[in-house]
Structure 1
Amino acid sequence: MMHDVFYQSCSVKALRDEPLTRDEAAAVLSAPDDHLLKLLDAAFAVRRRYFGRKVRLQMLQNAKSGACQEDCHYCSQSSISTAPIERYGLLPREAMMAGAKQAAASKAQRYCIVISGRGPLDREIDEISEAVRAIKRDIPIQICCSLGLLNGEQARRLKAAGVDRINHNLNTSERYHPSICTTHAYQDRLATIRHARDANLEICCGGILGMGEQDEDVLDLAYALLDVRPHSIPLNTLHPVQGTPLEGCDDLSPQRCLKILCLFRFLHPKTEIRVAGGREHNLRWLQPLSLYPADSVFVNGYLTTPGQPAPDVWKMIEDLGFEVEVQDDQPAGAGREA
């Protein structure tokens, strides 16, 4: 009974915009597995208040693959990866437009253009901007870009082209960051987020769980995002790829993933939370339960790993008694306070 009272108190605090204490947040992560449904119910009370039973879909486009200079240990496209992936330069405008049309047909509200590399070249900013302008003329969809490290001028050019949102994840805690990447610093990531915000771009910022971090690192990430105030938090769970330094790091359980999602919902009650990369690999048959704390998912796969086709996602949402949010008359991000 004491556990029931605690979970409900987490929900009440979230609905009052009162952040959990660190001890309370740690208790959510360490909740017994046989209390999981009660924890999910408490998180769903928060999700229902701000997002109802609607689910927003998003689709990724791997617009440039491989040949990255960075050594991110989780990534199959990094300079130290030997994973057998496709490698190609920036896709032409027509291919990016075709991806946007597929995203719209998949009922995605947002199309995310992603490129490998430390950061975009000036000509890549030009070509992506041209593609975004063309997409915005023809297709009613929001555009997110994930292009690596950005400076202020690049962020302003993307905003002028019609980009709605920039994705740049913190990935993990500041303490643990050197364990997963040595070619750029945690502060470099914060700088890119500042440049995007200064350009009046929306911010999509989350992390990757299951990379060998401790509970303290998960808590650090969750609380750091309170300062970032993103419009959207994508929570990836590591899908280990052979040929990367983290290929043997595969110890997440579905229950652990769900507890993490509940924690982030309590701490970020009004923010869009997306079940992102690794969903199928780590949540397995418990995937539908992720939508009790989260309100957004990806369709049609990720950058170099496969994912659920859109029709299967629609059916999962329907079977759960939820509904795909197909259109939104409000401007991008409106009503989704961070």
Structure 2
Amino acid sequence: MNVTSELKNRVLSRELLNRESILTLCQAPLDELCSAADEIRAHFCGNGFDLCTIVNGKSGRCSEDCKYCAQSAHYQTHVEEYSLLGTDEIVRQAKHHAEQGVLRYSIVTSGRKLGDADISQVCESIRAIKTSTDIEVCVSFGLLDEAAFRKVKAAGASRVHCNLESSRSYFPTVCTTHTYDEKIETLQAARRAGLSICSGGIMGLGESMEDRIDMALTLRELGVKSIPINFLNPIPGTPFADNAPLSDEEKRRIVAIYRFILPNTSIRLAGGRGLIVDKGEGCFRSGANAAISGDMLTTAGITVETDLQLLDRLGYQARLWNE
């Protein structure tokens, strides 16, 4: 029995692989690795596929210096800037996505965190969404505390998103205006408030495969069940504008290794999926079982209609997972 099959069987037996074992998968034959990862996905998650969309609820002028981000005020990226969208527009988009068959809708805002006035306004929007649709509402409002998250939950949101972005050791290369521990505390505050949590990162920031594995192990320790995997879409004007893109093969390997580490989670293809030649189909055959559909925050994405057709062809069924 080869190493990949041995590790697959250990995962199927509900063993949590250690870092040393996981590192051996970095050299495993790709097709063999991806097939094993897909088997793990089917065993733990079945054919459910968690599909969500996002709205850029507040754009630009961000105080943070994340080196990949078009919305940072530290860089000249010519991104569109606007304050928090009104309730009518946020609800309009939520209804549109719900009518298309999307089950989750996430409101994402730029900035270190939303202030009290914006929290009050967006809670009004969340309440309006919940009275007019059945869609689940997720939020990404920055580094909020437990009290703010309790307000968001009371309004009707069910999940909070806050990406770790990379490993603890590599994170200072990505951002210097807030810390890894602040991100972790944000996730823990959301959980204390009774919300589920969503967290992942961006691949292609210059990190090593070891960094990617270390981030996945941190997510496992935190008990995160929704894991967005973004692939860097280099934005002119940002410090990472000239980063070399990852190959499609490396993207499949990352997804497959994450499935070995996080067997019963929603591994969600997010930003940068449109850069993949097959729009992510290979990754959906390599352990991924969730996606952000439609446009991203500042870049174009893949339409919901196209994604639903792809899921049907692959034998997936859109449904909520890991509540």
Do Structure 1 and Structure 2 share a fold, with TM-score over 0.5? yes
Q: Is 1:174 paired with 2:149?
A: no
Give the aligned partner of residue 277 of structure 1.
271
- From 22, 43, 67, the equivalent of 1:25 is 22
Q: Is 1:156 paired with 2:150?
A: yes
The AA in structure 1 aligned to 2:88 is E
Q: Percent identity?
A: 35
Give the aligned partner of residue 40 of structure 1.
34
Q: Is 1:223 paired with 2:233?
A: no
- From 47, 50, 54, the equivalent of 1:53 is 47
- From 249, 255, 266, the equivalent of 2:249 is 255
Q: Is 1:14 paired with 2:3?
A: no
Q: Distance in 2 between matches of 1:222 and 1:57?
A: 21
Q: Distance in 1 between matches of 2:171 and 2:100?
A: 35
| Contact 2:273–2:279 under 8 Å retained in 1 | no
| Contact 2:269–2:280 under 8 Å retained in 1 | no
Q: Secondary structure at the match of 1:304?
A: coil
| Contact 1:239–1:250 under 8 Å retained in 2 | no
Q: After TM superposition, what 4+ stretches of structure 1 lie above 4 angstroms from structure 2?
A: none
The AA in structure 2 aligned to 1:240 is P
The AA in structure 2 aligned to 1:290 is C
Q: Secondary structure at the match of 1:111?
A: strand
TM-score when normalising by structure 2: 0.96
| Contact 2:50–2:290 under 8 Å retained in 1 | yes
Give the aligned partner of residue 232 of structure 1.
226
TM-score when normalising by structure 1: 0.92
Q: CA deviation at 1:286?
A: 6.2
Q: CA deviation at 1:54?
A: 2.7
Give the aligned partner of residue 333 of structure 1.
322
Q: Secondary structure at the match of 1:148?
A: coil
Q: Secondary structure at the match of 2:194?
A: coil
- The root-mean-square deviation of aligned C-alpha atoms, in Å, is 1.4
Once the two structures are superposed, what CA deviation does each residue of 1:61-86 show, in whole Å capped at 9, x if it has no partner?
00000010000001000122211211
Give the aligned partner of residue 185 of structure 1.
179
Q: CA deviation at 1:180?
A: 0.7
Give the aligned partner of residue 143 of structure 1.
137
| Contact 1:237–1:276 under 8 Å retained in 2 | yes
Q: Is 1:324 paired with 2:313?
A: no
Q: Secondary structure at the match of 1:216?
A: helix
Give the aligned partner of residue 198 of structure 1.
192
Once the two structures are superposed, what CA deviation does each residue of 1:123-163 show, in whole Å capped at 9, x if it has no partner?
11111111111111110111110011011110111111111
Q: Distance in 2 between matches of 1:105 and 1:316?
A: 18
Q: Distance in 2 between matches of 1:72 and 1:30?
A: 31
Q: Distance in 2 between matches of 1:158 and 1:172?
A: 27
Q: Is 1:305 paired with 2:302?
A: no
The AA in structure 2 aligned to 1:333 is N
Q: Distance in 2 between matches of 1:107 and 1:6?
A: 41
Give the aligned partner of residue 202 of structure 2.
208
| Contact 1:233–1:274 under 8 Å retained in 2 | yes
| Contact 1:238–1:250 under 8 Å retained in 2 | no
Structure 1 runs not aligned, ≥5 long? none
Q: Is 1:65 paired with 2:59?
A: yes
Q: Distance in 2 between matches of 1:257 and 1:241?
A: 19
Give the aligned partner of residue 281 of structure 2.
288
Q: Distance in 1 between matches of 2:128 and 2:106?
A: 15
Comparing 6-15 and 181-190, the one that deviates more:
6-15
Once the two structures are superposed, what CA deviation does each residue of 1:32-83 show, in whole Å capped at 9, x if it has no partner?
xxx3221111011111112222322100100000010000001000122211
The AA in structure 2 aligned to 1:244 is T
Q: Secondary structure at the match of 1:264?
A: helix
Q: Secondary structure at the match of 2:108?
A: strand
| Contact 1:10–1:42 under 8 Å retained in 2 | no
Q: Distance in 1 between matches of 2:149 and 2:177?
A: 22
Comparing 19-28 and 70-79, the one that deviates more:
19-28
Q: CA deviation at 1:323?
A: 2.8
| Contact 1:288–1:317 under 8 Å retained in 2 | no
